[in-house]
Chain A
Amino acid sequence: GDSVTQMEGPVTLSEEAFLTINCTYTATGYPSLFWYVQYPGEGLQLLLKATKADDKGSNKGFEATYRKETTSFHLEKGSVQVSDSAVYFCALLYGNNRLAFGKGNQVVVIP
C-alpha cells in the first residue's frame, strides 16, 4: 500500500541551526502530503500540508515542497528554536480515506 519513509534517527542541533528532515513517499496516485508535529505528552498537530505537485506548504517558519519527480516532501526550517523540539511525522492521505504516517523524527534543539 501507499507509504512514507522518513530518515532514520533523532536529530540534535543547536539553536539557530538549519533543520532538514527527509521524507519520501510511495503512492499509486497523487496523495496529499503532510507534516505533523507532536510535542511531549500531546497528540499530533498538523504543521503544514501540500495537496498537489509543486505545492509548498509553510507554517511557523517551516516549509516543505511536494516534489513528484523525486517523490519527496522534505521539511526545512532556516533557524530553529528550543521550542521546536518535538517529534515530526511525515504523512500522506491516500484512497481518500486512509492516513499513513512515517516513523517520526525526534528533534532536539540545544540552547
Chain B
Amino acid sequence: NAGVTQTPKFRILKIGQSMTLQCTQDMNHNYMYWYRQDPGMGLKLIYYSVGAGITDKGEVPNGYNVSRSTTEDFPLRLELAAPSQTSVYFCASRRDGETEAFFGQGTRLTVV
C-alpha cells in the first residue's frame, strides 16, 4: 500500500530552470493538494484539486502550475525557478466525505 508518493525527494535547480514535482496516490482519492513548508511558517496551500480535470488556486499559487488529468496524478510545475521557491513541498490527498488527509514524504527543493 504505497499511499501518496512524491518524486524526487531532493532537487537543486538553477534560477530560471523549470521542473515538475510528481505526486501520485493509489487510494482513489478525489481531493489532492500541494503545500509548501517554510521554516516557522507552517504549510501554505499552493493549489488543490477536487477531482480529475478540476484545479483551483490556494494561498500562494504564483510561479506554479498544476494539472489533474487522472485521479491518481497531480503534478506541480515550476516554469522559471526563483530562489523564493526554495522550500519543502508536500502533496496530500483525501477521500470525499472523509476528513483525514494523507501526506507524501515531501520534496526538498533548493533554487540557487
Which single residue of chain B is at the shortest CB-CB distance from A89?
Answer: B42
Q: Provide the bound-state CA to CA distance between A97 and B106, in Å.
A: 21
> B99 near A51 (CB under 8 angstroms)?
yes
Q: Provide the bound-state CA to CA distance between A44 and B88, in Å.
A: 12
Interface of A is mostly: strand
Q: Provide the bound-state CA to CA distance between A99 and B48, in Å.
A: 10
| Size bracket of the B interface | 20 to 34
Report how many A-B pairs have Cβ atoms within 8 Å.
Answer: 49
Interface of B is mostly: strand
Which single residue of chain B is at the shortest CB-CB distance from A103?
Answer: B42
With beta carbons under 8 angstroms apart, the residue of B31, B43, B92, B105 that contacts A42 is: B105
Complex contacts, B90 vs chain A, CB 8 Å? 43-44
Using an 8 Å CB-CB cutoff, how does the interface string of B65-94 with A read, 1 for contact, 0 for none? 000000000000000000000000010101
Is residue A17 within 8 Å, beta carbon to beta carbon, of the partner chain?
no
Given that A93-B99, A97-B50, A99-B33 are contacting pairs, would A43 and B105 also be in contact in the complex, using a CB cutoff of 8 Å? yes
Which residues of A pack against B, CB within 8 Å? 6, 32, 34, 41-46, 49, 51, 89, 93, 97-104
